Amino acid sequence: MAAIVNKSEKPALTDSQKRIFQFICKYIQQSGYPPAIRDIGKAFDIASPNGVMCHLRALQKKGYIQRDEKNEERGGRARSITIPGVSAGGFSLPLLGVVAAGKTIEAVEQDERLEMRELFNQDNLYVLKVRGTSMIESQIADGDFVIIKKQETADNGEKVVAMVDKAMTLKKFYKRKDHIRLEPCNSNMDPIIVDPAKESVAVLGVLVGVIRKC
């Protein structure tokens, strides 16, 4: 998605400035937040943070980006960069540290962000909302959001989203010689047995994560 920029009202960019501007736009769209100064430096082989800042100041002066310099930290993430018309397509949250679920630990503040795509370290992800209780013994409850990696194959025992005759279901996958077994993680429910010769069945993706709103 291209940035919405009225170039007739802005000075032209140099080739270097144009590449950096496009890099920042794409980074925001994919990650949900601006790149770190070190990220820009690494992408364009600029060794000095001051070198990156010179480009940012030029982009700001020409009206392509907006910055709050007081909130920028030396060598840190240029979180104060905003670009009119560029929306975030990723999703991230502040990662402030580690909390103990057992013995207490010292609180050490962090200044990072947790980006969902980086957390699962893969592309082709999508999210589905769970309806029903067939997976409760795998800690997947009604109303949870499951993160699925889009793929058409799965290993036995993996939790998959499968399409059976136009009906979608989340189950454990087992491929046998003459049938496919879709096993619930709920001892009160029976498995779904599918004969591929008689019914349409396809794997739509494999479970990689669960999100629960408390």
Q: What is the pLDDT of residues 133-180, one digit of tens each?
A: 999 999 999 999 998 988 999 999 999 999 998 889 999 999 999 999
Q: Cα separation of 141 and 31, whole Å?
A: 28
pLDDT category at 29 given cuts 50, 70, 90 is confident
- Please list the residues that pair with 154 across neighbouring strands: none
Considering only 19-28, 90-99, 118-127, which range has the smallest mean pLDDT?
90-99
Task: Specify the pLDDT at position 54.
Answer: 94
Fold classified for 13-71: Arc Repressor Mutant, subunit A (1.10.10)
Q: Catalytic one among 171, 177, 187, 200? A: 171
- Amino acid, res. 89: G
Give the model confidence (pLDDT) of 32-74 as tens digits: 778 888 899 999 999 999 999 999 999 999 999 988 665 554 4
- Of the chain, the percentage scoring pLDDT greater than 90 comes to 50
Domains 13-71 and 125-211 in one fold: no
Q: What is the pTM of this model?
A: 0.56
- Please list the residues that pair with 193 across neighbouring strands: 181
Domain ranges within the chain, ordered by starting residue:
13-71, 125-211
Would residue 138 show up in a list of annotated catalytic residues for this protein?
no
**Range 96-101 average pLDDT:** 67
Q: Cα separation of 58 and 82, whole Å?
A: 14
Between CA 90 and CA 113, with CA 161 as vertex, the angle to 5 degrees is 20
pLDDT category at 111 given cuts 50, 70, 90 is low
Q: Catalytic one among 31, 134, 159, 172? A: 134
Element (H, E) at 15: helix 15-31
Cβ-proximal residues to 55 (8 Å cutoff; 6+ apart), any chain: 16, 17, 20, 40, 46
**How is 63-89 classified by DSSP, letter by letter?**
TS-B--GGG--TTSB-TT-B-TT----
Would residue 134 show up in a list of annotated catalytic residues for this protein?
yes
> Domain 125-211 in CATH: superfamily?
Umud Fragment, subunit A (2.10.109.10)
Query: Mean pLDDT across the chain, nearest whole number?
Result: 82
Between CA 83 and CA 90, with CA 86 as vertex, the angle to 5 degrees is 115
Task: Specify the pLDDT at position 7.
Answer: 41
The pair of structure tokens assigned to 116 is 């969902």
Task: Specify the pLDDT at position 16.
Answer: 94
**Range 185-190 average pLDDT:** 96
Task: Specify the pLDDT at position 3.
Answer: 44
Task: Specify the pLDDT at position 181.
Answer: 96
How many of the other CB atoms lie within 10 Å of CB of 169?
Answer: 16
How far is CA 59 from each of CA 18, 103, 117, 151, 209, rounded to the nearest angstrom?
9, 49, 28, 41, 39
**Range 102-108 average pLDDT:** 67
Q: Which of 98, 90, 96, 86 is nearest to 116 (CA)?
A: 90
Task: Specify the pLDDT at position 6.
Answer: 44
